[in-house]
Structure 1
């Protein structure tokens, strides 16, 4: 279906019959803001490029997908998933549970399927960009397809 690099994300999308477009770019080892790097190198609006964050919501891990132009509002995310409080998950735990390295965590094809919330601004675009499962690789797909393949809900969880 695609000529994308084989990552768990692309395998999952192909298996689900979800159309996507792969985009690779030259990731710099010195980059620390991976989503902003992707937007800049792919020539995209930062509102259309989304970062995948793993959050501890009460005693469960949850995935938040928010635009790189903003930040995650932990209180809004907690409310969206019915939790009392939320905090960023330990990066090592996030890597273990998703099967991806930090900076390359994709919302798709995770080792353990986690509850996922996508910021509602994704619905403003025909397509959005998310990590394809490694640094230097994004996938472009329709927000509705991203929600369907991850079992995600849309909610206002970003600010800025």
Structure 2
């Protein structure tokens, strides 16, 4: 993979102690997995896929958003890593993991260790069951960008690398 071009609005981490704990967890997880790209810190917050795409100069679809649901059968957290330009089809998701409901901010934070707007597909806290799935639409792109544990943090990966990093099986989970 060729490295993504340098971004004028992003900088590599300076020292690990200067960034929030969630960002540092993602940085550590990526390093332990041997991922070549370090997370970047954006000058502006990117809490939504649209904000992240604008800050990075990429399309909204290239943002790998993490949407967390609550599985009704056992209260397990279900994370879908999906393209920022697509909505998760809850019926398709239910056909894979069983019926799901919406997860509130407290549930998302307890399940992942991240606040909404910075939920990363890697570096989550241990302790809860977290089922991960990946929406196949991400494979439309050579490189995608995922949150790195904070609204200002992002990291690049190919969809195949992201699938390897997360261990998430790939499914057609987008509406339409």
| TM-score after normalising by structure 2 | 0.79
Consecutive unaligned residues in structure 2, runs of 5 or more: 1-11, 14-18
> 1:87 pairs with 91, 94, 101, which one?
101
Distance 1:27 1:34 in 2: 12
Moved more, 17-26 or 129-138: 17-26
Deviation (angstroms), 1:87: 1.5
Distance 2:161 2:37 in 1: 9
Equivalenced residue count is 153
Deviation (angstroms), 1:126: 2.0
CA RMSD of aligned residues (A): 1.9
What does residue range 114-129 of structure 1 map to in structure 2 within 5 Å? 114-129=130-145
Distance 1:61 1:69 in 2: 22
**What is aligned with 1:14?**
31
> 2:111 pairs with 89, 94, 97, which one?
97
SS in 1 for 2:60: coil
Structure holding more strand per residue: 1
| TM-score after normalising by structure 1 | 0.86
SS in 2 for 1:39: helix
Distance 1:7 1:74 in 2: 32
